[in-house]
Amino acid sequence: MTIQRYIYSHTNPITFWSAGLIILGFLNTWFTKVPYITDTAWIIASVIAAAPIVLRAIGALKARVFSIELLVGIAVIGAFAIGEFEESAIVTFLFLFGSYLEQKTLAKTRGAIQSLTEMAPTTALLVNDDDTTEEVDVDDLEEGNLVLVKAGGQIPVDGTITDGTGYVNEASITGESRPINKQHGDHVYSGAMVESGTLKITATQVGDETTFSKIIELVEEAQDTKSPAEKFIDKFAQYYTPAVLVIAILVFIFSRDLRLAITVLVLGCPGALVIGAPVSNVAGIGNGAKHGILIKGGDVVESLAKVDTIVFDKTGTLTTGKMTVASTKQYTTDHSLLTGVAQIEQTSDHPLAQAIVAHLTAQSPDTPVTMSTETIKGRGMIGQWHDAPLYVGNAALLKDHQISLTEDQLSDLHAMQDTGQSTVLVGYAGQLAMILGVADTVRPEVPGALAAMKRQGIKHLVMLTGDNQATAQAVAESLGIDEVHADLLPADKVTFVKKFQDMGRNVAFVGDGINDSPSLATANVGIAMGGGTDVAIETADVVLMQSSFTALSHAVGLTKKTSANTKENIAIAILTVAFLLIGLVYGYIYMASGMFVHEASILVVIFNAMRLIGYKPRTAAATPAQPQQLATN
Amino acid sequence: MSKVTMKLDDLTCPSCMTKIEGALSKKDGVENVKVLFNASKIKAEFNTDKVSAESLEAAVTDLGYTVKSAKVKDL
């Protein structure tokens, strides 16, 4: 056993020595021509390089697995038997050297997850009851422990800030590198970096329970969750390898040509075929993980790549959810009225009122005087301004107080409502003074990202929402969404998803993971946006850690690229085998050259997959369009 | 039952997975062996009365893989 271990751990030096001996053999053949040196060098090279291969083959055979090493091992022993020392030496060397390069390049495709793992915190500063601190291993922390993190340090737990403020960078979680101001009571993630300030954090989740650990585990498992194509290939390889062995034996029986039989063994190695598909997925999923996009496996990559219909849940996924004043119509020249309106609205915590206050105080930062106001339910508010009543509310409020709107004013009002704005009317001194239109703001990156997805081949963008039709329609039209269904309950949304599927479409459902798990589960691909919650991470097939449409379009583009990459790799592998067989038939390919082509094809598929590591979607130079104002209720 | 997570040197051949899975599953008291090829990790649940984490580690080493670290957690 110890010899075995020694050989395994010295595979690289063995490869090196084997190369040296092979070169020595050739030099002697060409120049010095000393008898026996060449054969001796090649024999030693074959034996030392064959050792790890044969040992691995036997190990696999004990576990009842027919491995590639078995094919190569038998071929090498066969070559040895017929005195083809040059071939056996070169084949074993190429196989070992190929494995070495494979390992190095595979490490690159796995680099993303590797770097994530390395970002995981290892130690923490635990604050004891007597306020002293001690450095402990993160595994020794418990829920409820208080930890101290200084500027430049890494947060070791998921928890809540109990003392201090600072700027925290959550790039390791969200993929988005920017400092976020965190203070008392804010939630922080393990793995985030504190850029400035000192924080005391009470742990709510530690060790494997933290979001960061769960992300790593999820990505690790995702990279090994196979796509249907991979599963098929694995099954295929399971029968393929023994089949090659049987064919080689048959070839030997019928042709009595051992050399031909062992050449078949080497050419039959399934090399690029078994590595091609997984390596694409690993690189693709790794790219996603680096950008805060968690794709749960090769099967999800395949299904998302096929999606042609994306369904958005709630208008809220498209908008910032922050109400702002989008337009104003003024019918009076008395600007001081604005101050009065601001004072009235300040006494209300209604979202519309707060939007108006924010708008007005930005325009005229007068010191507010507190005013006594009266709230009329379902109508609005009444205050006093220069000893006359000031009405702020809906049309009904004004009507109740004998203020009627002119034709022009009515058409202005309707025009604003038609674009989905919520309207607030101001009445003073017997007439309408102004109309304020309040609307939700579309997230600035949405238009560009939606356009990018259309280019990526998404045919139908659908919005299902509980909002009213006018609001939803306005949002949809401004964004180029194809289909809108408003006034829906969560159950109705599932029905729509099923209806689209019955029409033969592949549906992705984008939700926030709250109340929409049925739709997330029903859709071909469930995408949770703005993840971080356990529910979202568990139910969805794809989790976008940052709630951004750029990430969504990245995910769509990435899976399409990855899926195409997988197919390219399978094609490369099959073409290689076909090329080798034709070469064999016409007598151009022998063992060593066959092995060389094989190893080269393996490197080609790995390099092809590596292109995915740097994938970035082409976003139309995000035109920072004038803030588009739209509404939701 | 306990759960062991072993981190190996980088795995390169997909057939290693079957090999390791087979070798560990055959052991008495071992269940749910999972080999994560790309993460180069083995996860397995085992009955502490019947088999030890060390013997599982040894089994993997004998197959020709280096166990870099092993973490055992009680379930």
Q: Where are the strands (E) in A268-318, listed by range?
A: 293-295, 309-313
DSSP for chain B, please give it: -EEEEEEESPP--THHHHHHHHHHHTSTTEEEEEEETTTTEEEEEE-TTT--HHHHHHHHHHTT--EEEEEEEE-
3-class DSSP string for A163-176: ECCEEEECHHHHCC
A257 an active-site residue?
no
Chain B's closest residue to A98, CA to CA, is: B12
Could you give the CA distance from residue A98 to residue A244 in angstroms, rounded to a whole number? 21
| φ/ψ (deg, to 5) at A39 | -60, -40
Which candidate in A158, A299, A313, A512 is catalytic? Answer: A313
Looking at residue A292, what is its pLDDT?
A: 85
Using CA of residue A495, residue A500, residue A504, residue A509, what is the dihedral sign? negative
Close Cβ partners of A16 (under 8 Å, ≥ 6 residues apart): none
Domain assignments of chain B as residue spans, ordered by start: 2-74
Chain B, nearest residue to A61 by Cα = B19
Residue with tokens 């379930």: B75
List of chain B residues whose C-beta atoms are within 8 Å of the C-beta of residue A5: 61, 64
How far is it, in rounded angstroms, from Cα A304 to Cα A70? 38
Pairing verdict, β A309-313 and A507-511: parallel
Q: So where are chain A's domains?
A: 121-216, 295-318+444-552, 320-442
Structure-block tokens of residue A354: 């707060």
C-alpha angle A161-A167-A173 in degrees, rounded to nearest 5:
80
Q: Which pLDDT belongs to residue A627?
A: 42
Collect all residues of chain B within an 8 Å Cβ-Cβ radius of residue A234.
14
Picking from B12, B16, B25 by the largest number of A CB atoms within 10 A of its own CB, the best residue to mutate is B12
- Rounded Cα distance between A141 and A156, Å, is 9
* Cα separation, A600 vs A317, whole angstroms: 47
CATH number assigned to the domain covering A295-318+444-552: 3.40.50.1000
Partner-chain residue, chosen from B19, B36, B63, that has the shortest CB–CB distance to A224: B36
pLDDT of residue A631: 42
Write the class of the CATH domain B2-74.
Answer: alpha beta
Q: Identify all chain A residues contacting B20, using CB atoms and an 8 Å cutoff.
A: 63
Chain A residues whose C-beta is within 8 A of a chain B C-beta are 1, 4-5, 8-9, 52, 55-56, 59-60, 62-65, 67-68, 99, 102-103, 106-107, 110, 113, 208, 220-221, 223-224, 234, 237, 274-275, 278, 282
Supply the pLDDT for residue A46: 92
pLDDT along chain A (633 residues), means of 10: 76 90 90 86 92 86 79 90 88 89 81 77 87 85 88 89 88 77 88 88 87 82 78 79 90 89 84 81 88 88 92 74 81 82 81 82 65 81 86 87 88 83 86 86 82 89 80 78 83 88 92 75 86 67 85 92 93 89 85 88 92 78 42 41
Tokens of A289: 């993980």
In terms of Cα–Cα distance, which of A232, A228, A268 is closest to A71? A268
Residue pLDDT, tens place only, B30-74: 988 888 887 888 989 999 888 888 888 888 887 778 888 888 887
Domain A121-216 of CATH type 2.70.150.10: yes
CA-wise closest residue to B13 among B71, B69, B64, B56 = B64
Residue A557, pLDDT score: 93
* Domain A320-442, CATH class in plain words: alpha beta
pLDDT at res. A629:
44
The residue of chain B with its CA nearest to that of A279 is B38
Contact B15 A274 (CB under 8 A): yes
- 3-state SS class at A39: helix
Those residues of chain B whose CB sits closer than 8 Å to some CB in chain A are 10, 12-15, 18-20, 22-23, 26, 36-39, 41, 61-66, 73
Query: Which residues have C-beta within 8 Å of that of residue A408, sequence separation ≥ 6?
Result: none
Residue at token pair 């054969």: A39
What is the model's pLDDT at position A370? 66
* Signed CA dihedral, A64, A66, A67, A73: sign only: positive
